[in-house]
Amino acid sequence: MRILITGAAGFLGSHLTDRFLADGYHVIGMDNLITGSLDNIAHLEDEPRFEFVRHDVTQFIDVKGDLDGVLHFASPASPVDYLELPIQTLKVGSLGTHNALGLSLAKGARFLLASTSEVYGDPLVHPQPETYWGNVNPIGPRGVYDEAKRFAEAMTSAYHRFHGVDTRIVRIFNTYGPRMRPGDGRVVSNFIVQALLGQGLTVYGDGSQSRSFCYVSDEVEGIFRLFHANGHDPVNIGNPDEYTIGELAERIQAVLDPDAGVKYLPLPTDDPKVRKPDITRARTILGWEPLVSLQDGLSDTIAYFRSLHERNPLSPPPVITEAAEE
């Protein structure tokens, strides 16, 4: 089986590449490295079943030979990224998705879209099932990411209905683990880096907003199963255990620096107050649910960031003023 993974040098894309290679697939990884890093796939340099292509998927995609699958994971996916790269975010969700779907159609390949819990916006339904249509501000600062993914879902569904492409849509909830970028602006990486540097942890609002955190190995396993399952409707893949941002800060403080203070900043525009997946569909269709506890996942992630810091001292993470923690 031969597949293409766009965004393969990113945090999640690189782990997904590893998972498919472990199952015997031949993987073509594609990335323009705008937010990805070759460090994430350096361990695959001598892997004969992996080939890397540096390419911007908003341009026409040409892959020689047969393809059995296309997994579209190319996109800025953190507040820092999509606030600094708003046009690129919109283009990869629209033009990039169109090109990836066109390739799937031409090759007769199964297509899987990496969507996001952000399609639910600041939800008025809690937890969020796949049947919820969302509460999104299309012209707010977060709209470039939210609406890019909503458009990508609509495009994917249209290609399934009109062209008969065999499609899957995964709605990814907050994911963390090794290979996260230290300065990506996500709350887990922010807190860990700040604690390692002996700084106060930056909490937006009063810390009562909630998130659910899924360790990367669990997320990848759910996506892997979805690719091989039947059905075309979106599926939430995330951890239904819900924590406030304040609780997450306390857990990381307890491990790294119990004396670390907390700095409170204004809640950013359109920040979701709650986020928790309803994973009934994933349990039923995929037989999947997360296995890694927050304690164990944070332990592995902290060890990763500590090793980075020991090799090359980390810089303080950026302050987010127009987007919330992911």
Tokens encoding 231: 């059905």
* Number of domains within the chain: 2
Q: Assess whether 54 and 30 both reside in one domain.
A: yes
Q: Looking at residue 73, which CATH number applies to its domain?
A: 3.40.50.720
Q: Quote the mean pLDDT of the chain.
A: 96
Tens digits of residue pLDDT in 163-205: 999 999 999 999 999 999 998 999 999 999 999 999 999 999 9
From the DSSP assignment, how many helices (H) and strands (E) are in the chain? 10, 13
Q: What letter does residue 135 receive in the DSSP assignment?
A: B
Provide the 10 A C-beta neighbour count for residue 111. 25
Band of residue 322 on the pLDDT scale cut at 50, 70, 90: low
Q: Assess whether 89 and 219 both reside in one domain.
A: yes
Q: Assess whether 154 and 299 both reside in one domain.
A: no
Q: Assess whether 165 and 258 both reside in one domain.
A: no
Q: Assess whether 88 and 102 both reside in one domain.
A: yes
- Please name the amino acid found at residue 92: V
Q: Looking at residue 247, which CATH number applies to its domain?
A: 3.90.25.10
**Phi, then psi, of 28 in degrees rounded to 5:** -100, 120
Q: Assess whether 152 and 186 both reside in one domain.
A: no
Q: Is residue 186 part of a domain?
A: yes
Q: Is residue 280 part of a domain?
A: no
Tens digits of residue pLDDT in 197-252: 999 999 999 999 999 999 999 999 999 999 999 999 999 999 999 999 999 999 99
Q: Which residue of the set 25, 120, 145, 243 is catalytic? A: 145
Q: Is residue 56 part of a domain?
A: yes
Q: Is residue 286 part of a domain?
A: no
Q: Assess whether 57 and 187 both reside in one domain.
A: no
Segments forming the whole domain that contains residue 74: 2-174+214-237
Q: Is 204 noted as a catalytic residue in this protein?
A: no
Q: Assess whether 47 and 12 both reside in one domain.
A: yes
- Residue reference for tokens 């709209």: 143
| Cα distance between residue 281 and residue 285, in whole Å | 6
Q: Assess whether 149 and 193 both reside in one domain.
A: no
Q: Assess whether 114 and 191 both reside in one domain.
A: no
Tens digits of residue pLDDT in 34-79: 999 999 999 999 999 999 999 999 999 999 999 999 999 999 998 8
| Cα distance between residue 116 and residue 93, in whole Å | 12
Band of residue 268 on the pLDDT scale cut at 50, 70, 90: confident
